[in-house]
Chain A
C-alpha cells in the first residue's frame, strides 16, 4: 500500500504508467474470466444443440418435478410436501428427505426472472441451471487458486475447470442434478476457508459458514468438507503451523456450520449425532486446547511454561482418557456405529457389495477403471504430480490444504466413480498451478537467453528492473510469506517501480548484474525451454480437443432420447417419451404403474402416474417386492402386483434395436435384491452353470419368469427368428401366451412395453369348489397385502421381518398350489 504513494511523490509519470499497467492487467484478467465463464457455459450446450432442451436421465426428472411443485405451491407447501404418487402405498415425505439447495436455487432464478417479466418456463430454467453454475464454479476456482498461488495459476486453473470432462458429465445443459450446484458450493466454501485462513477476518469466516450452509443444502457430499477442513487444521497443528488465523478460520465455522446444517431438514440432528461430523468436534476441542497452550506460552517465561506443561499433562491425560472413553461408548452404542451405509462404503470399498446390493447395483457406485481416469481428467492426471511438487516449493497453509485435498479426493475417486467429480476441481487446481509455474520458469529463461544473443545495453535495464524486483519480493517474502503468494504480480511491478524511483541507478545495476549472472546459471537453455513450451501448448491443445469431444459426443446424450448413426442416416429413438405420453393420455390419473425402480422418477414426472418404487431407493423391502414379482412366474407376479393395486407394468426392452441398458440386463440385480428379502428367489435358479443366458440353454425358471415373458412376448413376430441384438443370440422360448397380463402398448422401436393386469375371471371352468378355495386364497393374500400396506408401524425393524414372513408364506403357499392352477388354466391357455 505504501509503494504507490512513494512513487507518486518521486516520479509521477512512472506512477501513472504503473497504475495504467495494473489497471490493464486487472481489466485483462476480468475479460479473461468473463470469457472463461462464457466457455464454461457454452461448452455445455452441445446437448441442447444436438438434441433439444430437455431434462436428462433419471434423477433430474425428480428434481424438475420438485421444482415445478415449488414454483406452483410456494416454499411452505414445499417443506410440508407429502408425495403420495411415489412408493405406493407408503408415499414419501419429500420436503424432509431432499437436499433442497438445487430446487430452491432454480426456483429463485425462475421467480426472479418472472418478476422481471421474463417469461421463461420452469423447464428452461432447470435445463440451464447447471451450465450457469459451472461458470460460477470456474470463477470460484480462479479465486481459490489465486489464494494459493497467485492470479496466473488462478486463471489457468479456471480454464481447466471450465472444460474438465468429469465435471461436464454432470453439468451439461439439462443435467439438472444436485452436483451441478454442489461443485460450485464446494469450491467456493474452500475458497472462503482459505481466504479466512490468509486474512484472519471474521467477516470471511461468516461468509464461509454461509457457503457451507449452501453446500449442505445442495449435496450429501458436504461431509467431505466437514471432514477435510478438520483434517487440514489437524495437519497444521501437528506440523507446528498453528496461528490465530487458523483458529478464526475454524472455530466459528464449526459452531455456525453445525447450527446451519441442522436447519436443513434432511440433515437435522444428524449434524451432531452421526460420526461423519464427530471429527470436526474432536478437532474443535483440540484447537481450543492448542490455542490455550499457545496463549499461556505467550504470557509465561519459558521456564515457567515447562513447569506448567508437566503440571497440565498429568491432569490432562486423565481427563482426555475419560472423554475418549465416553465418546467411544456413545458411538459403539448406536447400531451402525454411527456411520451411514454410503459413508461406510467409502471407508471400506467392499462394504456395499457385501451387504447392500441396492448400492452396489448402481453403476456410478462402482470403483472406476483406469481408462475412466484418462477419460475424465485426461492430461490433468499427468500434471497433478507436478502441481503437488509446486505446492510444496514454498509450503504455505493454503498450499498444504490443496495437497491434502488432492490426496483425499484421489482416494475417494478410487472408491466410487461418482466421486471423480470431487477429484476434478482438485486436479484442475494442481494442474493449473503446475502449468503456470512451468510457464513462469520457461518464459523467464527465454527472457534471459534471448536478449543475450541480440543486444546488451537495452536489455540490461529490463533485466535490472526484473531482478531488483525479484530481490525485493524475496525480502518481502521474508517478512510476510503469505502476502507475496496472494498478489505477487501486482506487487512485483509496484515494487519494481519504487526500486527504480528510489535507488540510485548505478548501485542498482551493479547489484543486479551480479544477480543476473546467478540467474543466467539457473536459467534453462533457450532451445530446451522453447521446445518444452511448445510441448506444453500441445498438451493443452490435446486437453481442449479431448474435452470438446467429451462434451459433444460422450456426455451430451440425454438418455431419454437416443440417436444412432448408420449408413442410411441418423436414427432417433424417442420411445421413452412416447410410452410416458401414452400412459398419461390413456390411463386413469390414479392408476398405479409398476416398473423397475430406474424408471420411477420419469414415470411420475412425465406420465404423472403413481409408481411403486423409484430411484430414491429408501425402502429396500419394497424394491425387493417388485424384484420378486419380476422374477416370479406369471401367476405369482400377478398376485404380488394385484396386492399392490398395480394396473400397468412397464418394462424396458432393448433386444430389437440393441439398447444395452434394458431390463433383461438389469434382471440379475432384480433377482439378487428380491432374493435378499424373499429367500425363495435364488440366483442360481436363473443361471445355467453360473452363466446368465436367455437362449435355449437357459433354465426353465428364467424362461418362465415374468420379466422374460414381458420382454419377449410376440418378439418372434418381428423377424421370425427372435434374435436378440443385445445378447446376440436367439431367445430360448419363442412362442408363448400371457394369461394374466395383456399387452396394451409397445413403442415404435419396442424399447418400452406396457402391459395391463387382467382382472380375475368371473367364472373359471372346472369345479366350483376349487374356484372358491382360490378366491379365498387371493383374498387372504390381499389381506396380508393390506397388512403390509400400513407403513407407519412403531417398530420398523420388526415390521419388516413380519412383512417378509407374511409374503414368503403366502408365496410358498401359492407355489405349493401351483399344479392345481396349471390344471385350472390348461384349457384356457390352449
Chain B
C-alpha cells in the first residue's frame, strides 16, 4: 500500500516536473513539436486504416506512411538544430538549418510523388 501510494506520488511529481520543464521551451520549438505530433498521428491513422482495410496499393500505403514518418524525422532534426540549449550546433545559424530542412523535404516529397504510382 505504502509503496503504491509513494509510486503514485512519484508519478504525479514526475508529470508535474515534466510539464513545468516543457512549458519553459521556446514557442518556436513548441510549434515544431506540434508539427511532429501531427505527422506521427497521421502516420498512425494510416497504419490503422491499413490494418482494417488492407494494404492493397502497397506503394501508396508505403509512401503515405513514410511521408509522415519522414516529415516527423526531418522536423525532429530541425528541432535539434535550432534548439538554443543544444551545444553541438552553436555555430549553425537557424536560417541555414531551415534551408537544409526545406531541401531535404523537397527531395523526400519528390521521391514520394514518384513512388505514389
Binding site for B on A (CB under 8 A): 200-203, 205-206, 209-210, 243-245, 247-248, 251-252, 255-256, 258-260, 262-263, 269, 272, 291, 296, 298-301, 304, 307-308, 311
Contact = CB atoms under 8 A, between A and B. Distances in A.
B32 interface: no
A244 B62 CA distance: 27
A202 B14 contact: no
Contact of B77 (A210, A248, A304): A248
Nearest to B100: A202
Given A248-B77, A259-B63, A262-B59, A299 B22 contact: yes
A259 B117 CA distance: 13
Contacts of A308: 14, 18
A259 B108 contact: yes
A300 B77 contact: no
A647 B86 CA distance: 74
Nearest to B73: A251
A200 B108 CA distance: 18
Contacts of A245: 88
A112 B65 CA distance: 38
A241 to B, nearest CB: 13
Interface in B42-78: 58-59, 62-63, 66, 69-70, 73-74, 76-78
B73 A255 contact: yes
B34 interface: no
Contact of A205 (B17, B63, B85, B104): B104
Contacts of A248: 77, 80-81
B77 A202 contact: yes
A263 B111 CA distance: 8
B115 A262 contact: yes
A259 B11 contact: no
Contact of A206 (B76, B89, B107, B114): B107
A486 to B, nearest CB: 14
A585 B14 CA distance: 85
B108 A263 contact: no
B10 interface: yes
Contacts of A205: 77, 104
Interface in B71-115: 73-74, 76-78, 80-81, 85-86, 88-89, 92, 97, 100-101, 103-104, 107-108, 111-112, 114-115
A483 to B, nearest CB: 11
Interface of B: 7, 10-11, 13-14, 17-18, 21-22, 25, 58-59, 62-63, 66, 69-70, 73-74, 76-78, 80-81, 85-86, 88-89, 92, 97, 100-101, 103-104, 107-108, 111-112, 114-115
Contacts of A269: 58-59, 62
Contacts of A291: 76
Contact of B88 (A203, A244, A259, A296): A244
A255 B13 contact: no
Q: Which 3 A-B pairs have the closest CB atoms?
A: A202-B100, A255-B70, A299-B21
B13 A307 contact: yes
Q: Chain A's interface: helix, strand, loop or mixed, by majority?
A: helix
A259 B112 contact: yes
B100 A203 contact: yes
Contacts of B22: 299
A308 B21 CA distance: 14
A677 B46 CA distance: 46
Given A200-B89, A304-B17, A307-B14, A206 B111 contact: no
Most buried by A among B69, B70, B73, B89: B73
Nearest to A314: B7
Contacts of B111: 256, 259-260, 263
A202 B97 contact: yes
A210 B22 CA distance: 36
A201 B21 contact: no
A298 B25 CA distance: 12
Given A202-B77, A307-B11, A263 B88 contact: no
11 contacts: A201-B92, A202-B101, A203-B103, A210-B107, A248-B77, A255-B66, A256-B104, A259-B115, A299-B22, A304-B18, A311-B11
Contacts, number: 103
A260 B112 CA distance: 9
Most buried by A among B11, B22, B70, B78: B70
Contacts of A255: 66, 69-70, 73, 108
A300 B103 contact: no
A252 B13 contact: no
Given A251-B77, A263-B114, 17 more contacts: A200-B80, A200-B92, A202-B104, A203-B104, A206-B107, A244-B89, A251-B76, A252-B73, A255-B66, A259-B62, A262-B115, A296-B18, A300-B14, A300-B18, A307-B10, A307-B14, A308-B14
Given A255-B108, A299-B22, A262 B62 contact: yes
A252 B104 contact: yes
A251 B108 CA distance: 13
B54 to A, nearest CB: 15
Nearest to A480: B88
A263 B11 contact: no
A251 B89 CA distance: 18
Given A259-B66, A263-B114, A244 B86 contact: yes
A199 to B, nearest CB: 9
A44 to B, nearest CB: 34
A311 B18 CA distance: 14
A269 B77 CA distance: 27
Contacts of B97: 202
A487 B81 CA distance: 23
Nearest to B24: A299
Contacts of B115: 259, 262-263
B13 A304 contact: yes
Contacts of A260: 111
A301 B88 contact: no
Contact of B70 (A243, A247, A252, A300): A252
B60 to A, nearest CB: 12
Most buried by A among B76, B101, B103: B76
Nearest to A213: B111
Contacts of A301: 17
A391 B13 CA distance: 46
A291 B13 CA distance: 23
Nearest to A253: B73
Contacts of A256: 70, 104, 107-108, 111
A272 B100 CA distance: 27
Given A262-B59, A299-B21, A244 B80 contact: yes
A298 B22 CA distance: 11
Contact of B62 (A209, A272, A304): A272
Contacts of B69: 255
B10 to A, nearest CB: 5
